[in-house]
């Protein structure tokens, strides 16, 4: 084969560069389209809901009059449900992930379990709602409570936490594990002193991504029967007459942000659309700030973990 | 060298076979390990040096599908009824690539003691200092014990790993090419250290470097394709090898 002349080489490069630029333009277009949609959504909610961004909106209960209706029970409900969800899902998910990575023998049973966990993440959330209605609400008698909702969402995000725990553990080099075992440590000591602490940034990221998903879930919460109109808060520990117990609030009826929003959008009075937009923005802000916390924590913790 | 001294036996491999699943990596290995001596394992890449070394602290037990046959006697290292964790409590290991934990320098060395349930701060301080002195790194790190260990230089990390292994007073210390990732100065420091350590502890060292084997070891074993070809006093192996394959390897005609 004859060597290419300078002109031919330049022509080849020019053709390649043309494609480079075409793809670059396409990429920028797609990216800005996605960004634009998000910005438009947020801007739309801010503009529509601007009248409601007052302290009262956060401190008022639902009301028949749109201007007086607020999101107090909804945001308190959302936070409490998230608390129960995290409390249930984190220990279960981390323990399951740790077991699968560090203890389980590789055989067909673990393979089946692994495939199923991955598939669980794809189960429609309404199915979890149906399951929870049967088990938590009726069978266990938890009723239409914060506890039922928290456990339902915990099931929903369990696969996310298990998978992110396993991925975080797998990123730890084998030589760290061997270094620990080589001084005579047991598997448990290796997990406690090394695997769990080093996997923590990844685990936390998974937890927060899971919670961010759970906080916006509507279908399973409706299925288990969250109220849509609620004008009281769950009993605070030791408050009231007679004094409430430390955990009485978990059995209280409740509502959450997405249900409140859904309720307002389905009212005939267009004034409620303002409330819905404002509450939508608040929910969005909650999710985004959770993600921000995840990014910050990961950055903080990763700084000290390198090999 | 006092050639008439008879060394005592620390451990002994007898008809040791080892399998990674179906693949046999060690074939009928017989070799003595003498007390408070340095034994070098040499041989071309992939001949089974690491595999052999890792049999001494039962590292293979961490992974499914690995299988031993035969035994490593005297310290009962391979006896079926000895818990591998008990073996690892008495046999220290230093790896090819320094592998400090992403923790403080202090915690790296204290780890083996903590695993043994030692939490008394005075005892820990004491033993950590002694281990760091024995590993010839105390002067460099004594003012920065709370700092993260992975920030140390490669040579310092490797000496820290040696200190980590020494802190729990092992009877046998395994080194798997401990200087292959280090520069010549750090290598010299580690070699000197090994020389000092053999007063207290029995050492097995895998090395790719013929000069290193000649410098640090009392005995040398040449391995090839999973077999132990020749074992003897280092001087004799290097000056007058009995096996043609050993001679070819040492003189650089192979591997
Ligand atoms: N975990 C493993 N699984 C399967 N085969 C392995 C494994 N580790 C090493 N081997 C094989 O065993 C043989 C000996 O390897 P190794 O002991 O690492 O050699 P050396 O340390 O002498 O270079 C090689 O053929 C290698 O490919
Ligand atoms: Mg090797």
Q: How does DSSP assign A161-215, residue by residue?
A: HHHHHHHHHHTS-HHHHHHHHHTT--HHHHIIIIIHHHHHHHHHHHHHHHHHHHH
Give tens-digit pLDDT for B132-155: 999 999 999 999 999 999 999 999
Instruction: State the closest ligand 1 atom to the C-alpha of B41, by its place in the atom list counted from 1.
Output: 22
User: Do A182 and B88 make contact, defined as CB atoms within 8 angstroms?
Assistant: yes
Give tens-digit pLDDT for B233-244: 999 999 999 999
- Residue B51 inside a domain? The answer is yes
Shared domain check, A45 and A76? no
Please report, for residues A151, A157, A290, B39, B90, the alpha-carbon distance to residue B217 in angstroms, rounded to integers and kept in the order given.
63, 57, 59, 5, 21
Shared domain check, A249 and A157? yes
B81 pLDDT higher than 80: no
A108 CA to middle of ligand 2, Å? 32
A210 pLDDT higher than 60: yes
pTM of the entire predicted model: 0.88
Shared domain check, A74 and A194? yes
Domain end point (choices A18, A33, A50): A50
Whole-angstrom distance, CA of residue A166 vs CA of residue A161: 9
Tokens 């990390």 belong to residue = B157
Count the helix, strand and coil residues of chain B and give each as a percent rounded to the nearest 5: 40, 25, 35
CATH number of A217's domain: 1.10.3720.10
Instruction: Supply the Cα-derived Rg of chain A in whole angstroms.
Output: 25
Q: Residue B72 sits in which domain range? A: 9-99+172-250
Residues of B in contact with A179 (CB under 8 A): 95, 99-101, 161, 164
Whole-angstrom distance, CA of residue B183 vs CA of residue B180: 8
- Residue A145 inside a domain? The answer is yes
* Residue bearing the CA closest to ligand 1, atom 26: B46
Q: Residue A234 sits in which domain range? A: 53-304
Residues of A in contact with B92 (CB under 8 A): 182-183
Shared domain check, A157 and A265? yes
Whole-angstrom distance, CA of residue A195 vs CA of residue A33: 41
Give tens-digit pLDDT for B86-109: 999 999 999 999 999 999 999 999
Instruction: Point out the ligand nearest to the CA of residue B29.
Output: 1
pLDDT the model gives residue B3: 52
Report residue B249 as tokens.
Answer: 């390897």
- Residue B90 inside a domain? The answer is yes
- Residue B214 inside a domain? The answer is yes
User: Do B92 and A106 make contact, defined as CB atoms within 8 angstroms?
Assistant: no
- Residue B186 inside a domain? The answer is yes
Mutate to test the interface with A, among B61, B105, B115, B162 (most CBs of A within 10 A): B115
Residues of B in contact with A107 (CB under 8 A): none
- Of the partner residues B95, B150, B168, the one whose CB lies closest to the CB of residue A179: B95
B51 pLDDT higher than 90: yes
Instruction: Give the distance, in angstroms, between the CA of residue A129 and the centroid of all CA atoms in the same chain.
Output: 17
* Residue bearing the CA closest to ligand 1, atom 1: B20
DSSP B62: G
Residue in chain B lying closest to A188 (CA): B115
B29 CA to middle of ligand 1, Å? 16
Strand B227-233 vs strand B91-94: parallel, antiparallel, or unpaired? unpaired
- Residue A147 inside a domain? The answer is yes
- Residue B109 inside a domain? The answer is no
Shared domain check, A109 and A17? no
Residues of A in contact with B161 (CB under 8 A): 179
Shared domain check, A37 and A163? no
CATH number of B197's domain: 3.40.50.300
Q: Is B45 in the pocket of ligand 1 (CB under 6 A)?
A: yes
Instruction: State the closest ligand 1 atom to the C-alpha of B63, by its place in the atom list counted from 1.
Output: 1
Give tens-digit pLDDT for A79-89: 999 999 999 99
Shared domain check, A264 and A153? yes
Give tens-digit pLDDT for A3-25: 889 999 999 999 999 999 999 99
| A194: confidence class by pLDDT, cuts 50, 70, 90 | very high
- Residue A1 inside a domain? The answer is no
- Residue A292 inside a domain? The answer is yes
Q: Which of A269-273's residues contact partners 24+ apart within 8 Å by CB, and which partners? A: A269/A66, A271/A66, A271/A67, A272/A66, A272/A69, A273/A48
Residue A99 preceded by cis peptide, ω within 30 = no
Please report, for residues A71, A143, A223, B71, B215, the alpha-carbon distance to residue A228 in angstroms, rounded to integers and kept in the order given.
11, 16, 12, 72, 82
- Residue A71 inside a domain? The answer is yes
**How many domains does chain B fold into?**
1
Mean pLDDT of chain A: 92
User: Do A304 and B102 make contact, defined as CB atoms within 8 angstroms?
Assistant: yes
User: Do A307 and B99 make contact, defined as CB atoms within 8 angstroms?
Assistant: yes
Whole-angstrom distance, CA of residue A295 vs CA of residue B54: 40
How many other C-beta atoms can be found within 10 angstroms of the C-beta atom of residue A178? 17
Shared domain check, A97 and A117? yes
B170 pLDDT higher than 50: yes
- Residue B62 inside a domain? The answer is yes
Residue in chain A lying closest to B148 (CA): A304
Distance in Å, alpha carbon of B161 to nearest chain A alpha carbon: 9
Three-class secondary structure of residue A157 per DSSP: helix
- Residue B197 inside a domain? The answer is yes
* Residue bearing the CA closest to ligand 1, atom 3: B20
User: Do A184 and B161 make contact, defined as CB atoms within 8 angstroms?
Assistant: no
Q: Are B231 and B219 in contact (CB under 8 A)?
A: yes
Q: Are A73 and A61 in contact (CB under 8 A)?
A: yes
Whole-angstrom distance, CA of residue A279 vs CA of residue A74: 9
A225 pLDDT higher than 90: no
Shared domain check, A180 and A46? no
Residues within 5 A (CB) of ion ligand 2: B 50
pLDDT the model gives residue B78: 60
Shared domain check, A72 and A28? no
B53 CA to middle of ligand 2, Å? 9
Shared domain check, A58 and A24? no
Q: Is B50 in the pocket of ligand 1 (CB under 6 A)?
A: yes
Shared domain check, A88 and A37? no
B1 pLDDT higher than 50: no
ipTM, two decimals, is 0.92
**How many domains does chain A fold into?**
2
């Amino acid at each position: 084969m004859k060597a290419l002349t300078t002109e031919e080489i330049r022509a080849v490069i020019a053709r390649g560069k043309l494609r480079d630029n075409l793809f670059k333009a396409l990429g920028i277009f797609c990216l800005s389209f996605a960004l634009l949609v998000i910005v438009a959504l947020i801007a739309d909610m801010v503009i529509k809901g601007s009248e409601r961004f007052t302290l009262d909106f956060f401190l008022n209960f639902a009301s028949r009059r749109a201007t007086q209706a607020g999101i107090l029970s909804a945001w308190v409900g959302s936070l409490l449900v998230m608390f129960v969800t995290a409390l249930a899902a984190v220990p279960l998910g981390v323990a399951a992930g740790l077991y699968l990575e560090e203890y389980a023998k590789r055989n067909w049973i673990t393979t089946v379990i692994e495939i199923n966990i991955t598939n669980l993440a794809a189960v429609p959330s309404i199915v979890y709602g149906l399951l929870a209605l049967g088990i938590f609400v009726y069978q266990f008698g938890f009723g239409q409570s914060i506890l039922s909702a928290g456990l339902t969402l915990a099931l929903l995000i369990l696969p996310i936490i298990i998978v992110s725990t396993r991925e975080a553990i797998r990123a730890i080099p084998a030589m760290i594990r061997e270094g620990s075992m080589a001084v005579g440590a047991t598997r448990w000591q290796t997990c406690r002193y090394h695997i769990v602490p080093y996997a923590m940034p990844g685990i936390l990221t998974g937890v927060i991504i899971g919670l961010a998903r759970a906080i916006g879930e509507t279908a399973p919460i409706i299925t288990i029967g969250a109220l849509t109109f609620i004008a009281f808060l769950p009993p605070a520990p030791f408050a009231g007459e007679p004094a409430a117990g430390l955990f009485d609030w978990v059995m209280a009826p409740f509502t959450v942000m997405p249900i409140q929003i859904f309720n307002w959008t389905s009212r005939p009075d267009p004034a409620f659309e303002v409330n819905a937009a404002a509450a939508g923005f608040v929910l969005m802000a909650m999710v985004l700030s959770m993600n921000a916390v995840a990014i910050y924590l990961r950055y903080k913790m990763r700084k000290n973990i390198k090999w | 060298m006092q050639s008439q001294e008879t060394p005592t036996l620390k451990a002994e491999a007898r008809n040791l076979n080892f399998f990674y699943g179906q693949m046999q990596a060690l074939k009928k290995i017989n070799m003595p390990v003498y007390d408070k001596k340095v034994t070098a394992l040499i041989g071309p890449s992939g001949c089974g040096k690491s595999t052999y070394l890792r049999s001494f602290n039962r590292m293979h037990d961490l992974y499914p599908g690995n299988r031993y046959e035969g035994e490593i006697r005297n310290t009962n290292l391979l006896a079926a009824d000895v818990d591998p964790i008990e073996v690892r409590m008495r046999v220290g290991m230093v790896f090819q690539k320094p592998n400090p934990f992403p923790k403080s320098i202090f915690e790296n060395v204290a780890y083996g003691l903590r695993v043994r349930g030692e939490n008394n701060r005075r005892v820990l301080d004491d033993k950590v200092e002694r281990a760091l002195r024995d590993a010839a790194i105390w002067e460099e790190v004594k003012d920065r014990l709370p700092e993260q260990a992975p920030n140390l230089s490669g040579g310092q990390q490797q000496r820290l790993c040696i200190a980590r292994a020494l802190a729990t007073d092992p009877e046998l210390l395994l080194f798997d090419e401990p200087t292959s990732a280090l520069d010549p100065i750090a290598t010299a420091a580690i070699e000197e250290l090994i020389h000092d350590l053999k007063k207290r502890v029995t050492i097995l060292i895998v090395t790719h470097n013929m000069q290193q084997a000649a410098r640090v070891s009392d005995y040398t074993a040449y391995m090839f394709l999973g077999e132990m070809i020749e074992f003897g006093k280092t001087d004799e192996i290097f000056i007058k090898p009995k096996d043609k394959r050993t001679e070819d390897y040492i003189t650089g005609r192979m591997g």
